[in-house]
Amino acid sequence: MKFFNFHTHNFTNQADVLELVNQYPQEFDATIPFYSMGIHPWYIVEDRVEADLGIIESKLQEKNCLAIGECGLDKRIAIPLKLQQMVFEKQLLLAQKHNKPVVIHCVAAFQEVMDTKKRLNISVPMIIHGYSKNRQLAKQLLENGFYISFGKYLLRNPELESVFKSIPNNRFFLETDTVEEKINEVYALAAKYKNTTVAELQKEINATVLDVFKIE
């Protein structure tokens, strides 16, 4: 694998890219080679939660389902936080049961996400996707055992350079999420910020992929 795209909603089927494609329980596409599946806080349907969790658990037992998610907490939506929290916790417990990493969506609820990890004693890797916040919060997340993924905001916001530089090379991933740019463009910028080559960055990220996702 030359490039690893940690989180995308757009499967591009490029030979040199391993894409972790976001899938939803009710919209599963079996033609996608590697994917994550979860209940996004935006799309919680209360009377369908148990059915969705059942589908997710069945997929977690398949080797090409690499992670659960994206799931998490979002304080800027109308869905009650109490319901979001319940759905999030159930997914974390499934991740722990099946030893799968977790793709985290978090908006204005980082303390709650950290507290939940600690309270439930979650030991599987948890990765904050689409990071756009400051260095202080990034440090706190790292100290609490999280990985951090960068993509859209790294491309759009030059102020993230110093934050990205502060992240140890074995604790981050790169992603495209929903942007039109390709993952190699994200790698190119990341390599520039880290003052290294794309090839060296690929080598380091691939080692982290093997460690977190247990795949070659």
- Residue 163 CA to residue 200 CA, distance in Å, equals 20
pLDDT digits 0-9 by tens, 110-168: 999 999 999 999 999 999 999 999 999 999 999 999 999 999 999 999 999 999 999 99
**Is 105 marked as binding a ligand?**
yes
- What phi, psi does 147 have (nearest 5°)? -100, 160
Q: Assess whether pLDDT exceeds 80 at residue 172.
A: yes
CATH number for the segment(s) 3-213: 3.20.20.140
pLDDT digits 0-9 by tens, 77-90: 999 999 999 999 99
The predicted structure's pLDDT at residue 135: 97
pLDDT digits 0-9 by tens, 51-63: 999 999 999 999 9
The predicted structure's pLDDT at residue 42: 97
Domain residue extents for the chain: 3-213
Q: Is the pTM of this model over 0.85?
A: yes
pLDDT digits 0-9 by tens, 181-207: 999 999 999 999 999 999 999 999 999
How far apart, in Å, are the Cα atoms of 28 and each of 43, 55, 149? 15, 10, 24
144-155 residues labelled b (16+ CB within 10 A) or e (exposed): eebbbbbbbbbb
**Is 181 marked as binding a ligand?**
no
**Is 129 marked as binding a ligand?**
yes
**Is 74 marked as binding a ligand?**
no
